A and B are shown apart, each in its own frame.
Chain A
Amino acid sequence: MKKFLRTNEFYVAVILILLCVFIGIKSPVFFSLQNVFDLLRSSITMGIFAMGTLIVIISGGFDVSFTAIAVSSMYITIKILFAINYEGSFLVALIISALIGLLMGLINASIIGFFRIPTLIATLGTQSLFHGFLLFFIGSKYINNVPDGMLRFSRSNLITTVTPTGAITGLQSGILILVAVVIVVYLLLRFTMIGRNIFAIGGSREAAERSGINVIRTQFFIYGFVGMLAGIGGIIHGAHYKQGNPFDLVGTELNTIAAVVLGGALVTGGRGTVLGTLLGVALVVVMNNSLILIGVPSEWQKVVLGIILIIGTGIPAYQNMQAAKRVKTNLAE
């Protein structure tokens, strides 16, 4: 328990609760079922992206191309489905988009694995590459409609209630996909050897190689998997907004990375948890969606996010420094 009080998860949870209480007091609408459902709906795509980012950061890497992968997978999928006039299940759209994402992820992996380019540089390059490729070869036109399957998905709810004003609101079923992704990533990191390998590479790449871990194969898994998650997140995002916008998402990757880092993942690799990441996502989503409720102008949301990011990561760092000092004091007295 004492140990838990010193984790990042704890601080993020405290900040999150304080923020919610504060907003709730100022604006009771915050705790209405409709607002909670809205917040959950907004967490779905960022949550899925964050799970991918978490894996990359644990392995000691950085991926900034996932938004470009997401928007490309989404846009290409919508184009394909319109072209073949497919009006069936959303599942098909999901699979196509996931496969396109996987393919792009594997391109990332090849560049990182074979040419040994630092991951941040490689994905900066591919972000531009994928997005430019999309705009030039596939199309740069805004599509203000999505195929029927996606439309039905975005309207489907798990639970529905009627608000006091008479409107119908519900919990969007995409949350199930997020839950599934979270469970898969949790099991992967906690109970599989590939998960061990990811932590090992993030801890010390050289030691991992000497232990006989195939680092390049592991990187293929990581970036392929992350690409796939980006494809899944992208198509859900498209469905939620009922549009195919080729200029969407790209540029928002830092929000996701901030959420993961807030959740306690170490940017130098080797450490990070699913629970912490979920808390980080919740914090960022609440700030992005609810500060407006208490009259904070949207420009200020960025400032607040920055402050919370610095405080949230600064407190544990400061504590470590204090702990290190304490050890030495014992020696001298």
Chain B
Amino acid sequence: MAEKFLEVKNISKSFAGVHALDDVSFEVRKGEIHCLVGENGSGKSTMIKIIAGVYEPDEGEIIISGKSYKRLHPIDTIREGIQIIYQDFSLFPNFTVAENIALNKQLSENRKFFHKKEAQQVARAALESINIKMDLDSLVGTMSVADKQLIAISRALLQDAKLIIMDEPTTALTGREVKSLFKVINDLKARGISTMFVSHKLNEVLEIADRTMVFRNGKKIIDADAKEFDQSKMVYYMTGRKIESDSYDFGDQNKSGTPLLSLNNLSSTGRFKDVSFDLYKQEVIGVTGLLGSGRTELALALFGINPADKGSIQIEGKAVKINNPQDALKHGIGYVPEDRLTEGLFLEHSIGNNIVVSIVNKLLSKIGLIDKNTKQKEIDTWVKDLSIKTDSADNPAKSLSGGNQQRVVLAKWLASNPRMLILNGPTVGVDIGSKSELHEIIKRLAGEGLGVLVMSDDIPELLHICNRILLMRGGKIVDEFQASQITENELAEKLAEG
């Protein structure tokens, strides 16, 4: 076995009396790919921040290369060769690739002067060391997430990194990009550089890990060789309970009659082209495709944010025009956006106000003021119906976890009594326990008569909640599958093609 590089011993940390980390110990060996998984709030980020030197632990010690620290300062962490790649990469959008990669090295060498040529040499060498070619003079702000990640990794390597900690590195990557990231991580391993891979995407962890540990409620639940895990075991350790999921059974009984929504050669220049399909009551249709395939654009068009310019939309047999979100609302279409934090919620406002925001005019009393009792009744119904976990609906929406925030967005739409819901990435950033509960809610709602359109590239999710899946590529629908007749692997392959 390779020698130990990092050893964390009996670390505890509390915030305002709440144990964020409780007596956690583990070790990372040289050249090891060590995965850390856990739900939101399990203590993953607190652990990263303690290793980064941002937080001071209450108890315990950290031993790096044989040297013991009671607390680390950011500069110690860097000197010991630990580099952290945060989710936002901490890159400068206004700098070129070369300038970004070289900056930290120049800073740590305490340079006074900057030379463009030298920065380019340094950057080229760093990118070559992970076998990547990139235009050194491109502005980072214009590059893809995957490229930004590679830039952040090569920047980390320049600082003589011995351990690179990646916080949720694959959140915004497509399947193929994840593959090439894994190749880079494996190359690093061959050079004796350890990686700590923090994630809640279990299939990725199963693929890459040498060793895996699971955190739950601030405690390390298990820490073992990766071979000993499979998906259901990991879910069990993460949530403390078994989660089972059946696919959605829609049957064909409702397919007779008028479809709820019918699209005919719907096109929007530069976004998508000739999209046609029917959505029936009680049906859940998944629309998948890689980033840029047009699935989000289609959702935005159906909700009237970027209206389509050709083709027709029929709702229950009647041709309609959807030119803005008000039209969509009028026709009973609800939309849960991809980024609920900026598009779907008023984070500072109370949970209750968020739920009733789209139906305020139904709550008015005779004199035009909001009737408090009606409002409270409405709020209570939804908090209970969607089991939103909170002490009080008066708390601000930002106090909720991702999964519960998503339920508030759902509640907001359901309160307006829609005929049809468009969900864009309904469980992005939601942890696994909440995710399966959300899936059950979606299936239940469809069972009660709603038509649902799910835009997602989460393959297990699509197979669990949809009865039909449409595959988009380059703005067109290129294939259609029955969810019950395709496996995860087959769908993943179809998705990656082209």
Residues of A within 8 A of B (CB): 190-196, 199-200, 202-204, 206-208, 210-213, 266, 269-271, 325, 328-329, 331-333
Contact = CB atoms under 8 A, between A and B. Distances in A.
Contacts of B99: 196
Contacts of B292: 328, 331
B273 interface: yes
B108 A212 contact: yes
Nearest to B95: A203
Interface stretch (B2-10, B112-120, B238-246, B431-439): B112-120
Contacts of A207: 88-92
A36 B294 CA distance: 56
A331 B294 contact: yes
Nearest to A325: B270
A207 B108 CA distance: 15
B95 A212 contact: no
Nearest to A196: B114
20 contacts: A192-B112, A193-B107, A193-B113, A193-B114, A196-B106, A200-B92, A203-B95, A204-B91, A206-B88, A207-B88, A211-B103, A212-B107, A270-B92, A270-B94, A328-B270, A332-B269, A332-B271, A332-B474, A333-B474, A333-B475
Contacts of B89: 207
Contact of B270 (A190, A199, A211, A332): A332
A332 B273 contact: yes
Contacts of B429: none
Contacts of A196: 99, 103, 106, 114
Interface in B107-134: 107-108, 111-115
A202 B95 CA distance: 10
Nearest to A201: B92
Interface residues of B, number: 35
Contacts of B271: 328, 332
Interface of B: 74-75, 78, 86, 88-95, 99, 103-104, 106-108, 111-115, 269-273, 292-294, 297, 474-476
A270 B91 CA distance: 12
Contacts of B273: 332
A208 B74 CA distance: 14
Contacts of A203: 92-95
A270 B112 CA distance: 20
A332 B475 contact: yes
B126 to A, nearest CB: 15
A328 B306 CA distance: 14
A200 B112 contact: no
B107 to A, nearest CB: 5
A270 B103 contact: no
B95 A200 contact: yes
A52 B181 CA distance: 43
Given A203-B95, A204-B90, A332-B476, 18 more contacts: A190-B114, A192-B112, A194-B112, A196-B99, A207-B89, A208-B92, A211-B103, A211-B104, A212-B78, A212-B104, A325-B270, A328-B292, A331-B270, A331-B292, A331-B293, A332-B271, A332-B474, A333-B475
A193 B111 contact: yes
A332 B112 contact: no
A204 B141 CA distance: 11
A53 B292 CA distance: 40
B294 A332 contact: yes
A293 B392 CA distance: 71
Nearest to A271: B94
Nearest to B269: A329
Which 5 residue pairs are nearest across A and B when measured between Cβ atoms? Answer: A270-B94, A332-B475, A203-B92, A329-B270, A203-B94
Nearest to B293: A331
A192 B114 contact: yes
Nearest to B54: A210
Contacts of A211: 90, 103-104, 107
A332 to B, nearest CB: 3
B121 to A, nearest CB: 16
B114 A195 contact: yes
A333 B267 CA distance: 12
Given A196-B106, A332-B475, A212 B92 contact: no
A191 B476 CA distance: 49
A208 B282 CA distance: 51
Contacts of B112: 192-194
Nearest to B272: A332
A212 B114 contact: no
B346 to A, nearest CB: 23
